[in-house]
Amino acid sequence: MTDLTHMTLADARDALKAKKISAVELTDAHIAAVEAARSLGAYVLETPDQARMMAKASDDKISKGVAGPLEGIPLGIKDLYATKGVRTTACSHILANFVPQYESTVSSQLWRDGAVMLGKLSNDEFAMGSSNESSAFGPVASPWTPPNWSVEKAKSVLAGDKKGLLVPGGSSGGSASAVAAGLCLGATATDTGGSIRQPAAFTGTVGIKPTYGRCSRWGIVAFASSLDQAGPIARTVRDSAIMLRSMAGHDPKDTTSVDRDVPDYEAAIGRSVKGMKIGIPKEYRVDGMSAEIDALWTKGADMLRAAGAEIVEISLPHTKYALPAYYIVAPAEASSNLARYDGVRYGLRVPGKDITDMYEKTRAAGFGPEVRRRIMIGTYVLSAGYYDAYYVRAQQIRTLIKQDFEKAYAAGVDAVLTPATPSPAFGIGEKGGADPVEMYLNDVFTVTVNMAGLPGLAVPAGLSSDGLPLGLQLVGRPFDEETLFSLGEVIEQAAGRTKLPEAWWV
Amino acid sequence: MSVDQATVRRIARLARIAVTDEEVPHLMGELNAMLSFVEQLGEVDVTGVEPMTSVTPMAMKKRVDQVSDGGYPETVTGNAPMTEDHYFLVPKVVE
């Protein structure tokens, strides 16, 4: 498409401020790009009229000199964020016609700061998945094509069942695909076990899951409340820092949001990392890890060392238990959170012979297979006689996982460097068909961070031998997102920004 | 630990999700795959370890115990599948 859709958010902001471009122009270019990319499936709802109206209001504000920090910046919003008067489905059939009467706190802060909404982005149903294949709207294709595929082949498969094209990751697959394809300058996302960082790594984009409590969860469809956090996906480390500043902050409507000043994250970009101590956890060198991922990890450590950081090996002994413990805690919380979808107050309703029959039929028809499976496992681990053996034990292990990190930080480590994912993106229809655990292993490097409530940044660090993006993850101390942005910028500068794919889908 | 078909039906009932006879064996396989995956947690010595209750330690915030919101029943019931006079309608529960 046009150059306007391939600017960084920071450059667009500066060009708007300098009146080199108008917000309406910038928004129109994005609306056209979104329309031309419908076959990717990134957007599940386009809001072009609202976008033009918001852009016009932004131009007025810019001309009056009262522009906000994100004035005129077109963004996509994950369909887990309630948007007032705009259908919000969590990509589930059970919320197919849900139109919120309120706006999520995080998105309201983006509009407060002048951003423009282009539409709602696809995700795995209720954010449960690592490939965006469980969305009720169907899979989303990554703008990256499988190795050795011709444009003709990719286009013809895109017009059909999309099988074999690459997944954008998940659950924030629509967000990652849209950002990588130039369909918005940045997107909101959410992360419960890796749902921001894994899609960012799969698409050559940058994503940050902030510290638990940094962003308000109010108005975001709940999956597992003790793990869920909102965060941005953008094309550069700087862009993600700019977005996070607007998204973060205390909200009296979410008692788990933290009353703590929001720093100017962008100011951390370019700050020296000299003398910082970076931990390399030996337990992340998992069995069967590809040589390519291992090499990328070493390369990332070398980049930070070259910038003056000190690299030290550390031990996080409970790492291997994070994923199984997560698959108790997250489904348990989900089974409780999703009890609200009962066909009474909102959402789908399937009539039954009595109220229980109505509940059961509504929930069987409304939830997809992955969501049903997780609700059932959560129900089981919370049921009488199993609660202590599963749920309490998993929460004890969670304490141990957090202590592992605390010990490393107490020993002077400023941040931890790990791979973001165990592999590059895989194909649509390739994983999790027979055994759900195969798909869950995608989150092996990211899930510990949610279990410990820490901030984690995924940054592109290079390409695989097949030419697909690979990412590294930086994990920080609680509320020290700034250090992650400083270190992430070093990697981005050293590795060079990933060149995103040309628009072959048009 | 693993689940049998009767347990799958009991869990489905507790979760208020209708399952068909054909779905039960398939669900049993998937649930057992997940349960066997989490079995390794049994190896960990958790003696004396506090179960986590709050990942970011903070004092519970309190507010004054008074009505702070409301007065718009049409908005509250606006997305309900069935309503009458601002009440949610459900199938009869008392004979």
Give the model's pLDDT for residue A196: 98
Contacts of A354 in chain B (CB under 8 A): 91-93
3-state secondary structure A319-369: HHHHHHHHHHHHHHHHHHHHHHCCCCCCCCCCCCCCHHHHHHHHHHHHCCH
Are the beta carbons of B11 and A392 separated by less than 8 Å? no
Residues A435-453 have pLDDT tens digits of 788 888 889 999 999 999 9
Q: Which of B54, B63, B80 sits opposite A346 (nearest CB)?
A: B80
Residue A14 burial (CB count, 10 A): 13
Average pLDDT over residues A173-196: 98
Asked if residue A296 is part of any domain, the answer here is: no
Sign of the CA dihedral running B77, B80, B86, B90: negative
Asked if residue A375 is part of any domain, the answer here is: no
- Is the per-residue pLDDT at A217 higher than 60? yes
- Overall residue count recorded for chain A in this entry: 506
Asked if residue A422 is part of any domain, the answer here is: yes
Give the model's pLDDT for residue A111: 98
Q: Does B64 touch chain A (CB under 8 A)?
A: no
Nearest CA in chain A to B3: A380
The answer to whether residues A406 and B53 touch, using CB atoms and an 8 Å cutoff, is: no
Sign of the CA dihedral running A299, A302, A306, A307: positive
Contacts of B52 in chain A (CB under 8 A): 395-396, 398-399, 402
Tokens at A443, concatenated: 């989150």
Are the beta carbons of B17 and A343 separated by less than 8 Å? no
Q: Hey, is A28 helix, strand or coil? A: helix
Q: How many domains are there within chain A?
A: 1
Instruction: Give the domain extent around A259.
Output: 3-278+413-495
Asked if residue A53 is part of any domain, the answer here is: yes
3-state secondary structure A272-305: CCCCCEEEEEHHHCCCCCCHHHHHHHHHHHHHHH
Task: Please state the φ and ψ torsions of residue B58, each to the nearest 5 degrees.
Answer: -160, 155
Going from the C-alpha of A439 to that of each of A54, B7, B28, the distances in angstroms are 39, 25, 18
The answer to whether residues A436 and A330 touch, using CB atoms and an 8 Å cutoff, is: no
Domain B5-41 has CATH 1.10.20: yes
Average pLDDT over residues A86-112: 98
Are the beta carbons of A354 and B91 separated by less than 8 Å? yes
**Residue A177, C-beta contacts closer than 8 angstroms, at least 6 positions apart:** A40, A41, A42, A122, A132, A140, A141, A142, A143, A168, A183, A199, A203
Indicate the pLDDT class of residue B62, thresholds 50, 70 and 90: confident
| Of A108, A121, A135, residue with least CA distance to A76 | A121
| Of A123, A131, A332, A129, residue with least CA distance to A226 | A332
**Residue A207, C-beta contacts closer than 8 angstroms, at least 6 positions apart:** A172, A176, A189, A191, A196, A197, A199, A200, A201, A231, A232, A233, A234, A240, A457, A458
- CATH code, domain carrying A127: 3.90.1300.10
Task: Provide the greatest CA pair distance for chain B.
Answer: 57
The answer to whether residues B85 and B73 touch, using CB atoms and an 8 Å cutoff, is: no
The answer to whether residues A331 and A370 touch, using CB atoms and an 8 Å cutoff, is: no
CA–CA gap between residue A236 and residue A502 (Å, rounded): 18
Closest-CA distance, A292 to chain B, in angstroms, reads 27
Q: Does A424 touch chain B (CB under 8 A)?
A: no
Give the model's pLDDT for residue A345: 96
- Is the per-residue pLDDT at A2 higher than 70? no
Average pLDDT over residues A186-210: 98
Tokens at A200, concatenated: 């960012």
Are the beta carbons of B53 and A395 separated by less than 8 Å? yes
Residues A481-506 have pLDDT tens digits of 999 999 999 999 999 999 999 999 99
- Is the per-residue pLDDT at B12 higher than 70? yes
The answer to whether residues A331 and A377 touch, using CB atoms and an 8 Å cutoff, is: yes
Q: Does B94 touch chain A (CB under 8 A)?
A: no
- Is the per-residue pLDDT at A433 higher than 80? no
**Residue A344, C-beta contacts closer than 8 angstroms, at least 6 positions apart:** B80, B81, B88, B90
3-state secondary structure A421-485: CCCCCCECCCCCCCCHHHHHHHHCCCHHHHHHCCCEEEEEEEECCCCCEEEEEEEECCCCHHHHH
Give the model's pLDDT for residue A1: 40
Domain locations in chain B as residue ranges: 5-41
- Whether the bond between A171 and the residue before it is cis, its omega within 30 degrees of 0, is yes
Q: What residues of A are labeled active site?
A: 78, 171, 195
Cα distance between the two ends of chain A: 9
Give the model's pLDDT for residue A294: 95
Calculate what percentage of chain A has a pLDDT beyond 90: 96
Give the model's pLDDT for residue B42: 96
Indicate the pLDDT class of residue B70, thresholds 50, 70 and 90: very high
Give A381's DSSP letter. Answer: H
Type of residue numbered A291: A
Indicate the pLDDT class of residue A193, thresholds 50, 70 and 90: very high
Tokens at A4, concatenated: 């306007």
Give the model's pLDDT for residue B58: 83
Residues A288-317 have pLDDT tens digits of 788 999 999 999 999 999 999 999 999 999
Average pLDDT of the residues of chain A:
96
Asked if residue A262 is part of any domain, the answer here is: yes
| Of A384, A367, A379, residue with least CA distance to A333 | A379
